[in-house]
Structure 1
Amino acid sequence: MWLSEILDQHCRQRRDAPAVVEGERSLTWLELRSAAHSVAAHLSERGIRHGDRVAVYSRNRLEVIVSYFALAHLGAPFVPVNHAMLPTEFADAAARMDIRHVMGERRPVEKLGLAEDRTTVFDSEEFQKTLVAEQTPPPLAATLDDPLAVLLTSGTTGKPKGVLQTAGALRQMTLSWLAQARADDTVRLLNLNSLSHGSITATFHYVAAGATLHVMREFQPRAVLRQITEHGITHIWMVPQMLRFLMMAVGKDTTVPNVLREIMFGASPMSQELLRDARHAFGCGFRNIYGMTEAGGTFCTWLSDARTEETGSVPLESSGRSVPGIRVEIHDEDGRSLPVGEVGEVCVLALGRMSHYVGDAAETSRTIVDGWVRTGDLGLMDACGYVHLKDRKKDVIKRGGQNVFPAEIEAAIAGFDGVEDAGVIGVPNDVWGEVPLAFVVVAEGSGFSADALLTFLHGRLASYKLPKEARTVTQIPRNAAGKVLRRVLAEQVGGTR
């Protein structure tokens, strides 16, 4: 199977070169394969079989990558889970995704209250011994057509959907990306995005090329700067809000000694001011990444460097052009391709797209139409093939690279005494890009307190989903179908949606 082939190839070609680095800990390619094989043997002894779905519930750390390779060897699809997900949220997702086992850090795993034989704890003495046990794994069980991962995303209800991706699909997306980015084994990639969502596909692109992967458990700007200067980082993968925090640590008009080639960013737009300041500080190229988990990952990109800046050949306000092997078009409501300059839905045709949503055939058929993935994003394509996004059909709020759905917050608010109705929108924020803002209609004489509501929501919503404030209104604008008119709410705060 492909991921095992990657390990075998890199062990032959660069045996003792570093494969994964986390702080003072690291694994060479030989050590990574040995650890993955030992963990695969350990999981097999605990009853994990081909086809069993296994959640990985952790911050970014070396053991996460080992686990992905081990599970891929067994043909047991890994299900990356955001470490900030609440136990109640996890339980719901686990039931719908039919998760059989959970691997991860002690703190989040123990909060689930699962039987010991259903969990594997990274921090445990047993697991740490397993990493270096040099056990022989069971025979390779996976094929390219087997499910490799179930990547959790969010739907219009706010509940995560499971995007099933095969090993063959990831290989196809990797080949497309490497043809575009031309990465090789000289790359040292510092991935600051979570390994628990779609960014894992971009990570594997570079691992497949033989790059050294650097990870950090916590995003700390000054620690990141030390990594850049002390470890010869050539590529960074982050969201614009992280870059903003990084620039605060750098300071105005300061340059940072580095050998960076590219800073890659995605999930939300980057302001031209931030791009200009960061280019001055680091002097490297900047790559915009536009992708979607259902489409298999990244399908559009642009690279802005000294050459393109001089010629002005890259429209920085765009989301880029399609990468090799992937077709991107703008379609109307009937699925017909629109001409240059006309606004419609961004649609993607890619061999590396998802197979389906787990347990949701209806949503799968709405998202994949005649082989095309309908992204839900509205935009146009210019004469040079660059995609320019205009709006989002779905109401997702992108807070610091995390997707937040208003319907989920509204449902939580509805459980607070005195609330009769609620509507939530995203509003611009200099630090996080967007943050949720809640509007509530309260019962007369209820003694409603906005502070009390926000306190109530703590523990019911993950921290990144909490509204920045709650404003009382006399009515939530809704259409004839009863759906919240978020654009009307946005107009009340001077924005549009």
Structure 2
Amino acid sequence: MAVPAAASVRDANRYRPLEVTGLVDLLDRQVRERPYARALVVTGERVQLSYGALSALAQDVAARLGGAGLRPGDAVGLIGANTAEFVVGLLGAARAGLVTAPLDPSLPAPQLAVRLDALAARAVLLDPSAPDAALPAPAWPLRVDVSRAGTAAVVLEPGAVPQVPRAAAELSRRDALVLFTAGTSARAKMVPLTHANVAASLQNICATYELGPGDATVAVMPFFHGHGLFAALLASLASGGCVLLPARGRFSAGTFWDDMRAVDATWFTAVPAIHEILLERSERAERSEREYAGGQTLKFMRSCSAPLNTATQRALERTFGAPLLSAYGMTESSHQATSEPLPQRGALRQGSVGRPTGVEVRVVDRSGRSCPVGVEGEVWVQGPTVAGGYLGDGEESARTFVDGWLHTGDLGVLDADGYLSLTGRIKNLINRGGEKISPEHVEDILAGCPGVAEAAVFAVPDPVYGQRVGAAVVVREGDGAGREEILRYCRDRLAAFEVPDRIELVAELPYTAKGGLDRKALQARYGV
């Protein structure tokens, strides 16, 4: 009996288990079965790029990089926003057998240089939004010229490649990515992820949300972080969906719902701070914008990278007419480790970040024994998405990766059904809308400011971002360093999200009896 045409279309749009082994063959199934289907929507004109066109661009980049003398296992940096250039550069480098390290274009040049030096990058690909800065490796501008008809061409002229040793000689063609942890900016740890890690992560994400060719999303989170890279970009391409890259490659609340309408988006993922912004904007928006998500298109919303309070979650669901699923992940686990399931696949639990997705999760006490149900302990993760260790840092690797288990440093509890709820962090990082900030690093910068004698950094509660950065500063008598001078000094040396939002000029800092900074007293005194 013939299958009705409508049923055939529905079947083609459904989730199917992936057939990818990493970044190299990410597009292969779609190029083979649906070469003219849209993969990306790019530029302010919202031009569609097909899977066939995207694959051809990536192959062109791969040939040029190989022709420049780069060899499998070599590391390259990739600096850019959420642009066609970023996607083409990433996939092209993978096809050339290279290991790509995405970097935040907003980082100050000295921090970029430190990371590229640690990586021993042999070259850096730059999209048009990347800063013009002196870098310790050859910098090659990459441009993708896209016509309104959807044709595209690569503009890339690689130069000479210097001979440099690989980072601790630890990388090989098995590796796909090196991602930098968000714990500190100048001393961020490097996490090498293999193609097998990538494939396992994408399989888990696509299976959890049943993503398929009928799905589309708008890139909200930056691709140089695992959240945007794995959940929005790579999972969509691996499953045959479509990703709209906003104009200038950056999220804009003002155009977000127009972008969602332009691709008939079925889902999106963001940090709680952006969900809060969208919720606040909805109260002032035109009725047509508020009602977009209440139609048949939006299947779910996703939140990750920071805690989302329950009241906000329920308000978002009421406003936009779709379930909001909380997830939990980290760089070392190739992003997602747990998630709430789709409503038809399981219950949503208040305050939970869901069940494990393709990994095993334990909550353990200080001796490493599993905690009983409902008892708080450290969260450990094990599975095919977990990295093998940090690059060039054996000591930290030995502390964090033990017998195949990733010791996350997060505190949580498991319920009887295996749902995880996070209760805090062991370390004292400040979480500003998903950006993890080291107080010690900011303190180091403040201490170098002329006129500053001492400085201590603390978290300031914030209803939108969760936390902001505050600093208590002791200035030298007679030097006259004021708040504006200190802020200008910080802006030149810190990423924008690290710059203190509040500076308290104080006479002294609290110390413990042992002479160390009393962070608990500091927080109680100033972080309110």
TM-score, length-normalised on structure 1? 0.90
Residue 15 of structure 1: aligned partner: 35
In 2, the alpha carbon distance for the partners of 1:39 and 1:279 equals 42
* Between 477-486 and 364-373, the greater mean CA deviation after superposition: 477-486
SS of structure 1 residue aligned to 2:122: strand
Residue 149 of structure 1: aligned partner: 177
Q: CA deviation at 1:417?
A: 2.3
- Is 1:86 aligned to residue 121 of structure 2? no
- Residue 108 of structure 1 is aligned with which of 119, 130, 134? 130
> What are the residue-to-residue correspondences of 1:355-366 with 2, within 5 Å?
355-366=388-399
Alignment check: 8 A CA contact 1:156 1:394 kept? no
Residue 189 of structure 1: aligned partner: 217
Alignment check: 8 A CA contact 1:438 1:467 kept? yes
SS of structure 2 residue aligned to 1:10: helix
Residue 333 of structure 2: aligned partner: 295
In 1, the alpha carbon distance for the partners of 2:172 and 2:30 equals 19
- Is 1:320 aligned to residue 354 of structure 2? yes
Residue 257 of structure 1: aligned partner: 292
In 2, the alpha carbon distance for the partners of 1:288 and 1:227 equals 23
Alignment check: 8 A CA contact 2:82 2:219 kept? no
In 2, the alpha carbon distance for the partners of 1:272 and 1:124 equals 42
Alignment check: 8 A CA contact 1:38 1:132 kept? no
Alignment check: 8 A CA contact 1:331 1:338 kept? yes
Residue 275 of structure 1: aligned partner: 313
In 1, the alpha carbon distance for the partners of 2:464 and 2:413 equals 28
Alignment check: 8 A CA contact 2:24 2:94 kept? yes
Over aligned residue pairs, what C-alpha RMSD do you find? 2.6
Alignment check: 8 A CA contact 1:250 1:256 kept? no
Alignment check: 8 A CA contact 1:247 1:278 kept? yes
Residue 350 of structure 1: aligned partner: 383
Letter in 1 for 2:252: Q
Alignment check: 8 A CA contact 1:21 1:212 kept? yes
SS of structure 2 residue aligned to 1:221: coil
Write out per-residue CA displacement over residues 164-212 of structure 1, whole angstroms, 9 at most, x where no aligned residue.
Answer: 0000111122222333222111110222001001121223223211111
Q: CA deviation at 1:285?
A: 1.7
Residue 122 of structure 1: aligned partner: 142
Q: CA deviation at 1:482?
A: 5.5
In 1, the alpha carbon distance for the partners of 2:491 and 2:88 equals 33
Residue 49 of structure 1: aligned partner: 71
Q: CA deviation at 1:371?
A: 0.8
In 2, the alpha carbon distance for the partners of 1:184 and 1:124 equals 27
- Residue 244 of structure 1 is aligned with which of 256, 270, 276? 276
Alignment check: 8 A CA contact 1:79 1:151 kept? yes
Q: CA deviation at 1:107?
A: 5.2
- Residue 176 of structure 1 is aligned with which of 190, 201, 204? 204
- Is 1:286 aligned to residue 314 of structure 2? no
Letter in 2 for 1:9: R
* Between 39-48 and 173-182, the greater mean CA deviation after superposition: 173-182
Q: CA deviation at 1:114?
A: 6.0
Residue 8 of structure 2: aligned partner: none
Letter in 1 for 2:123: H
Write out per-residue CA displacement over residues 457-489 of structure 1, whole angstroms, 9 at most, x where no aligned residue.
Answer: 111111111101111233333446655332222
In 2, the alpha carbon distance for the partners of 1:220 and 1:156 equals 26
Q: CA deviation at 1:89?
A: 0.2
Alignment check: 8 A CA contact 1:222 1:246 kept? no
Change (3 A) 1:107 1:481: farther
Alignment check: 8 A CA contact 2:451 2:479 kept? yes
In 1, the alpha carbon distance for the partners of 2:368 and 2:397 equals 16
In 1, the alpha carbon distance for the partners of 2:400 and 2:135 equals 35
Residue 423 of structure 1: aligned partner: 456
- Is 1:468 aligned to residue 501 of structure 2? yes
Write out per-residue CA displacement over residues 295-323 of structure 1, whole angstroms, 9 at most, x where no aligned residue.
Answer: 22111111475997xxxx43221222211
Write out per-residue CA displacement over residues 9-54 of structure 1, whole angstroms, 9 at most, x where no aligned residue.
Answer: 1111111000111242332111011000001111112222111111
Letter in 2 for 1:315: R
Residue 65 of structure 1: aligned partner: 87
In 2, the alpha carbon distance for the partners of 1:163 and 1:400 equals 22
- Is 1:227 aligned to residue 259 of structure 2? yes
Residue 131 of structure 1: aligned partner: 154
- Residue 235 of structure 2 is aligned with which of 197, 205, 210? 205
Write out per-residue CA displacement over residues 241-287 of structure 1, whole angstroms, 9 at most, x where no aligned residue.
Answer: 11222233322595322411111111122233332332223211211
Letter in 2 for 1:317: G
Identity %: 28
Letter in 2 for 1:174: L
Q: CA deviation at 1:6?
A: 2.9
Residue 139 of structure 1: aligned partner: none
In 1, the alpha carbon distance for the partners of 2:139 and 2:474 equals 43
Alignment check: 8 A CA contact 1:188 1:232 kept? yes
Change (3 A) 1:340 1:483: farther
Aligned length: 478
Residue 3 of structure 2: aligned partner: none
Letter in 2 for 1:242: I
SS of structure 2 residue aligned to 1:435: strand
Letter in 2 for 1:229: R
Change (3 A) 1:247 1:154: closer
- Is 1:413 aligned to residue 443 of structure 2? no
> What are the residue-to-residue correspondences of 1:15-34 with 2, within 5 Å?
15-23=35-43, 24-34=46-56
In 2, the alpha carbon distance for the partners of 1:404 and 1:210 equals 35
Alignment check: 8 A CA contact 2:451 2:476 kept? yes
In 2, the alpha carbon distance for the partners of 1:124 and 1:26 equals 13
* Between 431-440 and 265-274, the greater mean CA deviation after superposition: 265-274
